[in-house]
Amino acid sequence: MQHFPIFLAVAGRRIVVAGGGETALAKLRLLLKTEAHVTVIAAEPGADVLRLATEGRIRLLPRAMEPGDALCAALFYAAHDDAAEDRRTAGLAHADGALVNIVDNLAESQFITPAIVDRDPVTIAIGTEGAAPVLARKIKADLEERLPASLGLLARIGKSFRHVAESLPMGRKRRDFWADYYFKTGPEALEAKGKEGVTPALHQLLDAHLASDAKEGHVDLVGAGPGDPDLVTLKARKALDAADVVIYDRLVTPAILELARREAIMIDAGKEGFGSAMAQDDINTLIVEHARTGAQVVRLKSGDPTVFGRLDEEIEAILAAGISYRIIPGITAASAAVASIGQSLTRRHRNASVRYLTGHDTKGFAEHDWKALARPGEVAAIYMGKKTARFIQGRLLMHGADPATPVTVVENVSRPDQRILATTLAQLEPTLTEARLTGPALTFYGLAPRQAETLCSPELAPLFQPTEGHAT
Ligand code: SAH
C-alpha cells in the first residue's frame, strides 16, 4: 500500500484550490460537501466559479497565486490544466506548509483524492493508487446502487442515540442492538412513519434488548467453497460477518478469512492429510467451549462441510453440549473442478450416477467397490487422492478398467494458481508424481477436459473458455 487511507478533520480549516476552470470545478464539487473554508485562486475564473463566489460558498482571489496564499491551509489542489502553472503553485503551497495535490499527477502529489460514496456520516473512499480509475468508478457505482439513500439519515439518528445505548453492556449485546437497528427496526420505522418514527423505535428496541436474556451460543458449520471468495455463498458471508469466533481448516484461503468480522477470534485448526495438526477431539472441544461462553461460532470448512468434512463428529459434540447449530452448504471441490474443465458430472447415456471417493481414510488407503468403478462410463471424483494415486490406479486396472479411461487432475481449483493435468488411467502415475503438485488436488476418473475432447473437432474448440489460471 503506497497510500494510507485516512479521514481528515477539515471542519473550519482552509482548503485552497488554484485554478478556475473545469478541473478546479470538479474538485470544488467534492470539497463543498465538507465544512471546510474553501478558497479559490484564479486569474481568469470561469462562470461557475464566479457564481460560487457570489453565493458566498467560496472565497475567490481573482489573480495569480502568490507566496503565503496557502498559509494555514490543510490541503492544496493545483488544478489549472497547465503543468507549468500547477508546478509553480504547488511549490508555493508546499512552502506554505499545505499538503499538496496536483490533479492528475500522481507522482508529484502528496495525497490523492479517492472516489467517494457519500451517505454522510457514512463515507466510503475508494482508491486504486492511480492504477485503475475505471475500477474505482465501477466499485463506486455498485456501492451507490447497494446502499440505500436512507443510510445516512439512519446513521445520523443512530449517532445521537449512542450515549443512550451505552446502558447495554459492551460487546455482543450492544452489537446485536445496533445490527437490529440498522438492518431491521431502523429501515422499517423510516418506511412506516418517516423520520419522526425512528427515535421512538430506537427507544422501544433498546427496552426490548435490555429486557432480553443473555444470548446463547450457537455454531454455524459453514462451507467456504474451494478457495475463490466469489464462490462463498451469501449465507456463509453473513455467518462470517456475525461471527465471534472462526475455527477454520488448512484449506480455507486467506481471501475468505478476510470476510470474517474484524473483531472475530480466528483459530487455525489446520489439518494435514494422513494425520492431523489438531486432533478431531480437540477441535470438537474447542467448538463447544467457545459456544458455551455465548459466542457465535463459525466452524469454517473448505468446500462443502458435508463432504469428507468429519461433520458428524462435530455435530454430535455440539448436540451433546445442548448447543444449537446450522449447516451452511458450500461448493464442493468436485463441483468447482468439473466446471473448470467445462464438463458435467453426469451425462445422459454415459453415467447416471457419480461417486465421491476419498483416497484415504483414517486407517490409510480407502477400499471401494473397484469392480463397479471399472465398468465403462463410470465417473468418480476422488478427494485426497494425490498420495494414493498409484494404489487407486492399481486397484482399478486389476479389476479390469480400460487403461485408456480419461483421468483429469485439477490442482488448486478456483484459485489463481489452478492447474489441470489431463491423462489416462494407465498414465496417472507417473504423471502425477512428475507434475510435483503442491496444492490440494481433485482427481476425476472417467472425465477429460472438454477442451481436450474437442481438439479433434475444431468448430467446437473455441466454445470452451477455460477458467483463469488454467494451464493444461
Ligand atoms: N469438504 C471439502 C473436501 C475436504 S477433503 C470439499 O467439499 O471440497 C480435502 C480434499 O478436498 C483435498 O485433499 C482435495 O482432494 C479436495 N480439495 C479441497 N479444496 C480443493 C481445491 N481448491 N482444489 C482441489 N482440490 C481441493
Indicate if ligand 1 lies below 6 Å from the C-beta of 303: yes
User: Could you tell me the fold of the domain covering 14-113?
Assistant: Rossmann fold (3.40.50)
Please name the residue whose Cα sits nearest to atom 25 of ligand 1.
Answer: 441
Catalytic residue among 249, 301, 304, 386: 249
Domain boundaries, the chain: 14-113, 150-211, 218-331, 335-452
Instruction: Give the 3-state secondary structure of residue 37.
Output: strand
As a whole number of Å, the end-to-end CA separation of the chain is 34
218-331 folds as Cobalt-precorrin-4 Transmethylase; domain 1 (3.40.1010)
Does any ligand 1 atom lie closer than 6 A to the CB of residue 442? yes
Output phi, psi for 216, to 5 deg: -85, 155
* Dihedral sign computed on CA atoms, order 314, 320, 323, 328: positive
Please give the model's pTM, rounded to 2 decimal places.
0.65
User: How many angstroms separate the CA atoms of 342 and 453, rounded?
Assistant: 10
Q: Is 222 in the pocket of ligand 1 (CB under 6 A)?
A: no
Is any atom of ligand 1 closer than 6 Å to the C-beta of 413?
yes
Rounded distance between C-alpha atoms, residue 143 and residue 126, angstroms: 10
Tens-digit pLDDT string for the chain (472 aa):
999 999 999 999 999 999 999 999 999 999 999 999 999 999 999 999 999 999 999 999 999 999 999 999 999 999 998 999 999 999 999 999 999 999 999 999 999 999 999 998 899 999 999 888 889 999 999 998 888 788 899 999 999 999 999 988 877 788 889 988 988 899 889 989 999 999 999 999 999 988 876 668 999 999 999 999 999 999 999 999 999 999 999 999 999 999 998 889 999 998 554 445 688 999 999 999 999 988 999 999 999 999 999 999 999 999 999 999 999 999 999 999 999 999 999 999 999 999 999 988 777 888 899 999 999 999 999 999 999 999 999 999 999 999 999 999 999 999 999 999 999 999 999 999 999 999 999 999 999 999 765 444 444 444 444 444 444 3
What is the Cα 456 distance to its own chain's centre? Answer: 40
| Atom 5 of ligand 1, residue of closest alpha carbon | 308
Q: What is the DSSP string of 110-133?
A: SS-PPEEEEETTEEEEE--TTS-H
Second CATH level (architecture) for the domain 335-452 = 2-Layer Sandwich (3.30)
